[in-house]
Structure 1
């Protein structure tokens, strides 16, 4: 009996050992599987870490490259957030700020220039538009450009400040030189003209018949020189800001008549009729003397290109809150390629086709004056014929109860 019990116990123990061995084998198998999975996870994590490290190195390189490019630029480059706080800048920009750590500070606190902060605000409001203005910071002149950038939901404004101090000084020196030359030339040329006039009126004309034509040619060239000197002087004064635009209600018809009277001698010399189509009682808001100069220059230009015996037409029509004025001649007109450049200083269309008069300054003066009035000036191409057509706009005078204040502007 005892032996049977021992045999049964021995069998049970054998079965238990067998179960344990099977369980152990299963555990070892699971362990190998988990080890393999863990190894794969570790390998994946290691690969991901290497990829992230490469990505970080790439962006660090790109950032270093961008900063190197930014720091090599002569322009001051600044990036601000939507609260106008500086978040990045290059070395050129750091020289503008007295603070050692300009980052995270308000732009207005660094520059004390409300114009710069207002420019950022305008860029943020009109987020698809870039702005460009000229302003002075610490006695230096800058052309400032603002551009909006987006990174996800964040909005930034990039500012580029280009130092134009030297250019401003050169322009000022050029204007001063032109003004000085004009002043120095005006007196001797005027004296020459007086002497020529005196020669025309002396009593011994019969003895000088052969010289009359020469004297007339000299007189014509002297008048052209006087015109050139006057244009140089006018343009210098306008570009220097010394000329003030005083807007006053004016009858347009009177301004045109005065300009026509001033050009009567020249139009007679060219045998050209000056035709006016100006509505009576049409009132405009302008500086009378300056706008009369625009008419004189446009008429002078039309006479230069018109064939002898022809006519130059001056017309005006009211369109909404402005008046469109046109000076039309029957000359060769403005070539299409010259339309965009015709109002540039010293630019001239083929001079061989004109009467030879003019300096290339008259239309530039017209543009300055009209734009200072808040108007527009343009030339139309002669692609379909029709001669030269120059038009500009002035503010029309509204009814008396709606008349706005009359500001003064500096050209």
Structure 2
């Protein structure tokens, strides 16, 4: 898993591209070095053969064959690092002097260079061959002198240089990939830590902060700035919630007194219907403030302390039993598909209220004679609760917005009473349990899925 993250990370791809570019650069540099070394080496070969040829020519012209034999003894001895071979022949290419016993069958190359293959013994047991490079010169008297050099040392030197350069290139690529993987692995771990912190923050824990690593650098500065931004967001969110919560708390008491006085007034009023309408309005306002305070209670403090082991299936059956009479009044069909799921930990009352809100909305927005479906199943260590209806549904553009406080779909404002807090409470409760809310089309209608991990 970690390897797939490393290899798919931007850092590894960047390092791979960097290593590829570096490898190409190293290859070009090594190729240039090889070219320069080869040119210098072949220049040295050319110069040494040319010098030996000039010396052999001068020796033969001054002292004849006997001088050549002495020259060969000195210049072709076993103590020489470079193995030279000498030959002087007459007009018919018959040997006159030298340490080659015959004139080879050479190939002619540019600038008077000769090449031939010949296996010979330079000593009693010292076999040399078979590749030689040579130069020759025809004297005014008709003789031809030739100096040959064993070519194996040239080839071996070229192979040695090219092998060293090739190994250097391979080492650069391998070390670059390993270094890129190590750097990418460290960055992936840091980014994973930051993502985990950000996921907990997005789940509602505004007290979470990005961990500051010991090292100094860009990541630390970014983490510091993120934490400063989160501090500011937390202050703004707490301030906004505090204002709404204070308003709800402060107004609920006078509204309760107003509602009680209206109830007393209704008994002595000549128009009890009008007073009842006022009481209903007061009840709606009280329900709104109660929902606001309930959401504030869920989103703040430490409500997880009340978690106990619960059976989701039992909660669903209780909710369905509660709302079946309401569905029968509208001649709606409530269908269930409840699988047995693992027991989990949670707040039974909060989950009951959240699921009740979903079933209530489904029945409320489904037309008479419609269909409501409640499903429950377990999937990959998750519990999935799904409530679907055959009502008007919610457009894709508004599915995220309906989870916000007080947001209501425009078409539903005149059709059904409400305050736009039902799904907000559902979202807060599910997030408290580490889950998520997903809205989708039911063709027709809306399908709401609650996904919570088994805790």
TM-score by length of 1: 0.51
Partner of 1:7: none
Task: Report the Cα offset of residue 232 of structure 1.
Answer: 0.9
Partner of 2:248: 182
Partner of 2:366: 306
Which of the residues 281, 288, 291 maps onto 2:348?
Answer: 288
The SS at the match of 1:316 is strand
Q: Larger % of helix: which? A: 2
The SS at the match of 1:244 is helix
Contact 1:330 1:388 in 2 (8 A): yes
Task: Report the Cα offset of residue 146 of structure 1.
Answer: 9.5
Distance 1:323 1:124, change over 3 A: closer
Matched, 1:386 2:419: no
Task: Report the Cα offset of residue 333 of structure 1.
Answer: 0.4
The SS at the match of 1:312 is strand
Distance 1:83 1:336, change over 3 A: closer
How far apart are the structure 2 equivalents of 1:185 and 1:338?
30
How far apart are the structure 2 equivalents of 1:278 and 1:245?
31
Contact 2:298 2:432 in 1 (8 A): no
Partner of 2:357: 297
Q: Deviations over 1:152-195 (max 9, x none)?
A: xxx97464114233432232222222222222222333344444
Which of the residues 307, 317, 327 maps onto 2:377?
Answer: 317
Contact 1:329 1:387 in 2 (8 A): yes
TM-score by length of 2: 0.47
Q: Deviations over 1:302-321 (max 9, x none)?
A: 34423345453322223343
Task: Report the Cα offset of residue 390 of structure 1.
Answer: 0.7
Structure 2, unaligned runs of 5 or more: 1-180, 201-206
Which of the residues 309, 314, 322 maps onto 1:254?
Answer: 314
How far apart are the structure 1 equivalents of 2:241 and 2:296?
5
Matched, 1:131 2:195: yes
The SS at the match of 2:402 is coil
Contact 2:295 2:425 in 1 (8 A): yes
How far apart are the structure 2 equivalents of 1:242 and 1:191?
31
Larger radius of gyration: 2
Structure 1, unaligned runs of 5 or more: 1-81, 85-119, 136-140, 148-154, 397-405, 407-411
- For these two proteins, the number of residue pairs brought into alignment is 262
Partner of 1:53: none
How far apart are the structure 2 equivalents of 1:377 and 1:221?
31
Distance 1:131 1:142, change over 3 A: same
